[in-house]
Amino acid sequence: MVVYNNREKSSNFAVVMMRKLLLFLFLCVSFSVRGAHPVGYGTVIGEWAGTWATAMQVPVKRFMPYNNQMSDRSVRQIVKVSAGGRVVRLQLSNIYSAEPVVLRSVYIAHSIDSFRIDPKTARYLKFGGKDNVVVPAGKSIFSDAVVFDLRPLEQIAITLNYETAPKLPTVHMGSRTTSYILKGSSTPETDFSKSFRYEKWFNIAALEVLTNNVRGIAIIGNSITDGKGSTTDHQNRWPDEMSFWLNGPYRQKEEAAAKVANRKSLAKEWGILNLGIGNNRVLTYSGYGEAAKKRFDRDILEQHGISDVVIFEGINDLGTSGYGVATAYNLIMEYRTMIEKCHKAHKKVYLATITPMRGSGYYSANHEEGRRIVNAWIRSQKVADGYIDFDALMRDPKQPTAMRKGLCLSDHLHPNAAGYKEMGRFAADYFIKTR
* Digit-coded pLDDT (tens) for 162-177: 999 999 999 999 999 9
134 and 82 belong to one structural domain: yes
User: Residue 155: pLDDT above 80?
Assistant: yes
| Structural domain includes residue 21 | no
CA distance 220 to 66: 28
The residue type of 262 is: N
Predicted local confidence at residue 134, as pLDDT = 98
Predicted local confidence at residue 240, as pLDDT = 98
369 and 312 belong to one structural domain: yes
Predicted local confidence at residue 273, as pLDDT = 98
Instruction: Give the mean model confidence (pLDDT) for residues 179-204.
Output: 97
127 and 194 belong to one structural domain: yes
Predicted local confidence at residue 46, as pLDDT = 86
Write down the mean pLDDT value for the chain. Answer: 91
CATH number at residue 393: 3.40.50.1110
202 and 268 belong to one structural domain: no
Query: Could you tell me which residue, 92 or 33, shows the higher pLDDT?
Result: 92
Say how many CA atoms lie within 13 Å of 335 toward its Cβ. 30
| Structural domain includes residue 54 | yes
Which among 186, 206, 226 is the end of a domain?
206
Percent of the chain with pLDDT over 70: 90
| Structural domain includes residue 169 | yes
Least confident of 40-54, 203-217, 286-300: 40-54
CA distance 258 to 254: 6
User: Residue 252: pLDDT above 80?
Assistant: yes
172 and 280 belong to one structural domain: no
Buried (b) or exposed (e) across 363-383, using 16+ Cβ within 10 A? Answer: beebbbebbbbbbebbeeeee
Structural domain boundaries enclosing 285: 213-434
Q: What is the pLDDT of residues 371-427, one digit of tens each?
A: 999 999 999 999 999 999 999 999 999 999 999 999 999 999 999 999 999 999 999
> What is the number of domains present in the chain?
2
User: Residue 233: pLDDT above 80?
Assistant: yes
| Structural domain includes residue 12 | no
| Structural domain includes residue 300 | yes
Query: Could you tell me which residue, 267 or 145, shows the higher pLDDT?
Result: 145
Provide φ and ψ at 20, rounded to 5°.
-65, -40
**CB 149, CB 39: distance < 8 Å:** no
| Structural domain includes residue 34 | no
398 and 423 belong to one structural domain: yes
418 and 285 belong to one structural domain: yes
149 and 240 belong to one structural domain: no
127 and 150 belong to one structural domain: yes
User: Residue 314: pLDDT above 50?
Assistant: yes
223 and 351 belong to one structural domain: yes
Least confident of 32-41, 52-61, 245-254: 32-41
Predicted local confidence at residue 67, as pLDDT = 74
**Alpha helices in 345-396, H assignment, sequence order:** 365-380, 390-394
Predicted local confidence at residue 61, as pLDDT = 81
Which among 206, 239, 258 is the end of a domain?
206
412 and 283 belong to one structural domain: yes
359 and 258 belong to one structural domain: yes
The residue type of 2 is: V
| Structural domain includes residue 10 | no
Most confidently modeled range among 7-16, 28-37, 128-137, 252-261 = 128-137
Split at pLDDT 50, 70, 90, the class of 286 is confident
**CB 86, CB 149: distance < 8 Å:** yes
Q: Is the dihedral of CA 321, 323, 324, 328 positive or negative?
A: negative
Predicted local confidence at residue 283, as pLDDT = 97
Which among 184, 206, 228 is the end of a domain?
206
| Structural domain includes residue 219 | yes
Task: Kindly write down the DSSP assignment for every residue of 288-355, as one continuous string.
Answer: SSS-HHHHHIIIIITSTTEEEEEEE--HHHHHH-S-HHHHHHHHHHHHHHHHHHHHHTT-EEEEEPPP
Provide φ and ψ at 135, rounded to 5°.
-100, 110
